[in-house]
Chain A
Amino acid sequence: MNEILGIAIAAVICWVNFVLIDTWMGLPEGPGVKGADVIGRSVQKRGGDLAGGFFQGNIVCSPDASAGTLLAAIGCYAIGIPEGGLIAAVLVYFGNRLCADPGYAGTTGALSITVIIFLTSFIGFKTEYFIVGMVIAILTIQGIYHPGASRLLGKIAHKMGRHTKLT
């Protein structure tokens, strides 16, 4: 498979995987840790959406499904397809507990991307495409234009019924 095309498709798969799991686990509903509150309100001040800001803040402050997706991809690449993802899931769980985060988003993200990598390996996707794809996916959320990204995340949260009740 063409490398650029593979990376682009892997980026889309990773983006959908971690945004859906994080929203489902309630990241936009409120700051899981205190630092996420500061980042969320700063994004809102610059013209963004508060729920999307909390989502971005939670990603920075604790290993969530985004971290689980990246680390499980690295584990599958360097260790092996099912066992690397499982080791990554355990380490992400430790990270979650160290950050005093009650959620299990990181572990769920790591396990789901392990299944996706296993299934897509049959149609010619290499595991390294998912590593680069995940970095590109996080770049679109955290690195290009924060107010715009937070408004998009807020819309997704609203559709899934997970929009924040805080003001």
Chain B
Amino acid sequence: MLIEILGIIVVLMALRTLVAQNRSERLLYLNVIGFSMSAIIGLYIQTPFGAIIAITFFVTSTLSSNAIAYSLGRVKEEIMVK
């Protein structure tokens, strides 16, 4: 029941990511997928190591979206310079 709710949220957000026009709008939807995926990992692997995996997955996915958002800003600057 709980994992099913999270699965529906992931599918909905994946569809919205596909139809989104803007790159930074897409990042916000991907952030929700990151939240739901680490919640699914935590609920499915009910062991202490499962919690560590979920936490590490979430922190690293945040790191990568940080890098993507940073490079989006750089790309915009470069286009303006040209």
Main secondary structure on A side of the interface with B: helix
Distance in angstroms from B28 CB to nearest chain A CB is: 5
| Total number of B residues with any Cβ neighbor in A under 8 Å | 45
- Indicate with 1 or 0, residue by residue over A4-42, a CB within 8 angstroms of chain B CB atoms: 000100000000000000000000000001111111001
Query: How many Å lie between the Cα of A38 and that of B2 in the bound state?
Result: 34
A88 within 8 A of B: yes
- Indicate with 1 or 0, residue by residue over A76-99, a CB within 8 angstroms of chain B CB atoms: 011100001001100110110011
* B2-36 interface with A by 8 A CB criterion: 2, 5-6, 9, 12-13, 16, 22, 24-25, 27-29, 31-32, 35-36
Main secondary structure on B side of the interface with A: helix
Task: Assess the B62–A143 pair: CB atoms within 8 A.
Answer: no
Task: Assess the B69–A35 pair: CB atoms within 8 A.
Answer: yes
Task: Assess the B5–A67 pair: CB atoms within 8 A.
Answer: no
Closest to A88 in B: B55
Query: How many Å lie between the Cα of A22 and that of B51 in the bound state?
Result: 24
B6 partner residues in chain A, CB cutoff 8 A: 132, 135
Query: How many Å lie between the Cα of A58 and that of B28 in the bound state?
Result: 11
Partner of A63, one of B52, B54, B62, B73: B62
Partner of B39, one of A61, A92, A132: A132
Interface residues of B (CB under 8 A from A): 1-2, 5-6, 9, 12-13, 16, 22, 24-25, 27-29, 31-32, 35-36, 38-39, 42-43, 45-48, 50-52, 54-56, 58-59, 62-63, 65-70, 72-73, 76
Q: List 18 A-B contacts (CB under 8 A).
A: A3-B1, A35-B69, A59-B31, A60-B62, A63-B62, A71-B55, A74-B51, A78-B50, A78-B54, A131-B2, A131-B43, A135-B32, A136-B5, A139-B9, A139-B32, A142-B32, A143-B13, A143-B28
